[in-house]
Amino acid sequence: MIHHGKKNRGNHTKIEGIIPAMVTLFKEDQEIDETALREHIDFLIENGVHGIFALGTNGEFVYLSKEEKKQVLEITADQVNGRVALIAGISSHSTKISVELAKYAEDLGVTAVMAILPTYYPLENKNVQMYYEEIASAIEIPLYAYNFPMTNQLNLSPKLVAKLAEQKILAGIKETVMDINHIKQMIESTPDDFIVINGSELLLDQALKAGVDGAIHGMANCFPKKLVQIWDAFQNKKPEFNNYWQEFKEAIPLLNVPMDYLPSLTKEILVAMGRDIVPQVRSPLRIIKDRWRKKIKDLKLLKAQ
């Protein structure tokens, strides 16, 4: 096991900028491809990303075992090796397992951990507080919530998140919502040092203008350089911002595929870019149809990489 030492909650790398929701790469037999994963991490960092988020939606975490999640985190922490911020996804249906993964990730030296609420049983605010409180009390590094109501039918309210932030349970949140007003309210309701991250490519320009601290996107796996250009141009008030955003927007219609196609779509774009990966996804996720592959090949953005 690789250990990089614990980091204290009050002394950690700032989470900001463009952070790919990293894909988990597999071999043909759906087993984790360590070599491809390490090469992909280098590709992302070399293209200027500000951090990496492992084991999110694009990372197919739902269909990985606890041991496989630990394997992905160990590979990722070793390959990142402190070069950029690293957020570890520790989501699980079980609080006990989320706590175990959080401790494991902390021992690997990650910057922060992030957890989406468990699905299946409907949860109320008391359940939400219990889940995040148990994780936060077990670690010293920051804990981020992952708000994605499409997956668990529960939209974390700014009021509840602000309460958890004030109690030092949550240090930030990834907002994968299609409502810019929700993001604005989250920013306004929470303390100044609370990190709010945009999770929807479609809202990126509006979210930047609203004052988010960063963006975690699946498309940052494929177009990291363009998204970093967008981020840098916005931060430095460069006129090129609008041009970069218009160029990137060409890829957004591709995201209209059903949600269970997203990991496949991301990997097929990487293949179309000439990356040496197997576009395998973990069953029961579906592989995209040929008509989507044609749309990928027609992207001007692809040719610009």
- The catalytic residue positions are 146, 174
Q: Which of 159, 113, 161, 166 is nearest to 136 (CA)?
A: 113
Label residue 226 exposed, middle or buried (CB < 10 Å: 0-12, 13-18, 19+): buried
Label residue 136 exposed, middle or buried (CB < 10 Å: 0-12, 13-18, 19+): buried
The Cα–Cα gap between 206 and 183 comes to 10
Tokens of 106: 């902390």
The Cα–Cα gap between 221 and 24 comes to 11
DSSP 8-state assignment for residue 187: H
CA angle 165, 170, 173 (to 5 degrees): 100
The Cα–Cα gap between 104 and 121 comes to 26
**Helix, strand, coil fractions of the chain, as percent rounded to 5:** 50, 10, 40
Kindly give, in sequence order, each residue whose CB lies less than 8 Å from that of residue 73, ignoring residues fewer than 6 positions away.
Answer: 54, 55, 88, 101, 104, 105, 108, 110
